[in-house]
Amino acid sequence: MLDTLNSQDSAWRQRAKAVLPNGMYGHLSTRLLPEVYPQFFARAEGAMIWDVDGTGYIDFMCAFGPNLFGYGDREIDDAYIAQLRIGDTMTGPSPNMVQLAEAMVAQVSHAEWALFCRNGTDATTSAVMAARAVTKKSTILRARGSYHGTSPWCTPVQAGTTEADRSHQVWFDYNDVESLRAAAAEAGGDLAAIIATPVNQHTFLKQQLPTADYARAARAICDAADAMLITDEVRSGFRVVQDGIWDRLGAPPDLSAWGKAIANGHCLSALLGNARARPGIEQIFVTGSYWFSAAPLAASLVVMARIKDGAYLSRITDTGERLRAGLDELAARHGVGFEQSGPVTMPLMTFADDPDFRAGYFWCAEMLKQGVYMHPWHNMFINTAMTDAHIEATLAAADRAFGALKAARATLPPNTRLFGASADR
Amino acid sequence: MLDTLNSQDSAWRQRAKAVLPNGMYGHLSTRLLPEVYPQFFARAEGAMIWDVDGTGYIDFMCAFGPNLFGYGDREIDDAYIAQLRIGDTMTGPSPNMVQLAEAMVAQVSHAEWALFCRNGTDATTSAVMAARAVTKKSTILRARGSYHGTSPWCTPVQAGTTEADRSHQVWFDYNDVESLRAAAAEAGGDLAAIIATPVNQHTFLKQQLPTADYARAARAICDAADAMLITDEVRSGFRVVQDGIWDRLGAPPDLSAWGKAIANGHCLSALLGNARARPGIEQIFVTGSYWFSAAPLAASLVVMARIKDGAYLSRITDTGERLRAGLDELAARHGVGFEQSGPVTMPLMTFADDPDFRAGYFWCAEMLKQGVYMHPWHNMFINTAMTDAHIEATLAAADRAFGALKAARATLPPNTRLFGASADR
């Protein structure tokens, strides 16, 4: 049956095998997802995606974050297209670069300047470079398991990197003030920066919200050591508050990295910083062929106007709360140990006593077959295009999927697809 | 007069100073250009750009390379927009990723697979990582002064980097086989890769075309040492041949980095590789939020169809030859020591006996005032939208600018704007 249903996807996978590394690379490879997941997609609109065989799904991955206002948002895309027709990648920047910097500085408490780039990794790497330049020190503290991109200094897979790429790094445990202090002590007089995701979003593990004590301890350590506090908001930015998350916890960073939601799918990332960090960013040389392109900035200006307005946030929060409560109730009724973690707008859904994710894979596959695209070990995202009808359909699918899981769980085979793969992401 | 002419540009510069590092950062900052150069641009079309004060220029910088088929090419941009309306940054890739990989593999002799990314730096960095992964060795050989992007391992400015970022690198002189052999000997048994730009395009220095001996020596050294040969085609790609430049010299690389012209201004770069390099790229983990976006791939499919057709290449070559011959003739007539280097489609224009570029700055400023945007120390680019009329207008402006330079040269003041800045780029 799968062969018939997914014949287009199978055909594209065959062609892809010949000309793309591993048939598909990076975080959009379905290699570590249940086998039933399609690899190639034909179309996206609002809260929905359609695979190349024409099957539609309510998409809770939101392109891994960029989709905040729905796929193909007309106003945002029209702004992009209008600017593209006037001038996009030119020999000089457009003034809208200044306007967007002003809008982001106005929105994010600690920000006094902005630098625009393309990848989240560009922003996190530039932040580390700026911190080293301004402090004239080298050591950075990182939380174990936190993802900051795939530059050699931070890619989670060591293949192709050298030990030197990871030099001057000391690790600590998220939300653990003692561990953070011990790492700072190890850095001694060479502490350049602490880099942290505002919310702990490890793959495979339950998410953790930061405690105010932990965030403020990081701020205090940086103050005492004349070091820079860097938050990596690439995934979380504007999905929880209309500001930097740690600004709201009383631990404003000196530098922060942004991306994904800030342009609703158009290619844009940004590094924001305060006056203290400015001499650092003004010393380093970072640039890129497309870092000054005007069209993504035009799209982001529409996004930032909506961020400022704030109605989007109550909408996605309401949607996320409704989904969380509905799923919890269904799971309890079926008596399956279902766990939801992280902010309701960025939920991670896992099962208790499921070390190899066999229950999660089964449940996600059951959801997928009913037209709901979920992820068994990566946090998901809520967007404003999700309606009550989408949530109702999702809950109806979940009811059946929990039932199927309950019936099948005792006989589920080991998860050979993921087995041995956790170090591979 | 400048205050009146450039009042909008001045106003935007003032606002930019408050919210952008140094008022503007990266390679599009005009800090190291003659003072008369505008910073902000309002519009681009074909071969022309217009600054925010409404002045138009024939643009020989082509956005530093992306503009190959003219700004705002209707067919390319329509393909982008059509795909944007269907689905751009989604939870999975579109099949057009496979189609573009097939098109690039068909076009570039050594290529058997493609990986798409966003910055040129993504492609060069991934190439180095892939080479290290497949060879299980670390040392890379680099040509002095060659630009490969702004990741910590390769940014030309050391601020914000550590010595560890540049470890496992040995330098050699471009086109110098003995220097290359000495560097390889220094690497000894740890040689992972040689990375080289196919054409030597140092800023501030005359360009050098590669000798076949040099390119083949690099290939032979890699073969003997079981190392990878990497060419950085980001700037030169498809502007000289419809293939990899070193493929045509009998020195096919194992890996090659591409960008700029491959999507005519849309945000796309690519790493191509052969079967030998494939186990390397399949081991490393590199990815990005927008690396799978479908719209730039759609634009690049139109570009690649034109690359295959080839008519563009004779057109830009003819245009470049006409410009080079015309300028040489005028310069000789005026008796100014004018030097043109590099391929005619990527000309660098400098003056003899002009160590601080005071003559170059004067001449470029005179050209700019007549509506021709040239660069005093970076190579320029020819695009297919440049017509005979553009070249005639450029030559007429050059005639006057050479005359003005001849009259002023003896009394030109030192170039304080560039002085001490060469290490800063």
Are A285 and B424 inside 8 Å of each other by CB? yes
A residues 64..123 contacting B (CB < 8 A): 64-67, 71-72, 77, 80-81, 84-95, 97-98, 101-102, 105, 112-115, 118-122
Q: A402 — phi, psi (to 5°)? A: -65, -40
Distance from CA of A105 to the nearest CA of B (A): 8
* pLDDT of res. B420: 54
Q: Average of pLDDT values for A410-424?
A: 75
Are A91 and B59 inside 8 Å of each other by CB? yes
Model confidence pLDDT, tens digit, residues A189-198 = 999 999 999 9
Q: For each successive 10 residues of chain B (425 residues), what is the average pLDDT?
A: 72 98 98 96 98 98 98 98 98 98 98 98 98 98 95 96 97 97 98 95 86 97 98 98 98 98 98 98 98 98 98 98 98 98 97 97 98 97 98 98 98 86 42
Distance from CA of A238 to the nearest CA of B (A): 16
CA pair distance B395, A229, nearest whole angstrom: 54
Residue A282 pLDDT exceeds 70? yes
* pLDDT of res. A4: 56
Q: Order of strands across the sheet with B48-51?
A: B41-45, B48-51, B56-59, B372-373
CB contact A282 to B (< 8 Å): yes
Task: At B170, list the tokens.
Answer: 């040995």
CB burial string B343-372: b at 16+ within 10 A, e below: bbbbbbbbbeebebbbbbbbbbbbbbbbeb
- Strand runs labelled E in B60-119: 113-117
Q: A143 — phi, psi (to 5°)? A: -80, 135
Residue A202 pLDDT exceeds 90? no
Identify whether the C-beta of residue B100 lies closer than 8 Å to the C-beta of residue B269. Answer: no
* pLDDT of res. B46: 98
Identity of the residue numbered A357:
F
Identify whether the C-beta of residue B372 lies closer than 8 Å to the C-beta of residue B390. Answer: no
Q: B45 — phi, psi (to 5°)? A: -155, 125
When mean pLDDT is compared across A8-17, A411-420, B40-49, the lowest value belongs to: A411-420
Q: DSSP secondary structure string, B18-31?
A: HHSGGGS-GGG--T
pTM beyond 0.95: the answer is: yes
> Reduced to 3 states, what is the DSSP secondary structure of residue B175?
coil
CB burial string B224-258: b at 16+ within 10 A, e below: ebebbbbbbbbbbbbbbbebbbbbbbebbbbbbbb
Distance from CA of B335 to the nearest CA of A (A): 31
CA pair distance A309, B173, nearest whole angstrom: 56
* pLDDT of res. A171: 97
Distance from CA of A213 to the nearest CA of B (A): 30
* pLDDT of res. B6: 74
Question: What is the residue whose two structure tokens read 């080289």?
Answer: B196
Residue A82 pLDDT exceeds 50? yes
Mean pLDDT of all residues in chain A?
Answer: 96
Residue A265 pLDDT exceeds 80? yes
Q: What is the dihedral of CA B74, B77, B80, B86, to 10 degrees?
A: -50
| Per-residue confidence band for A1, with pLDDT thresholds at 50, 70 and 90 | very low
CB contact B370 to A (< 8 Å): no
* pLDDT of res. A424: 39
> Reduced to 3 states, what is the DSSP secondary structure of residue B142?
strand
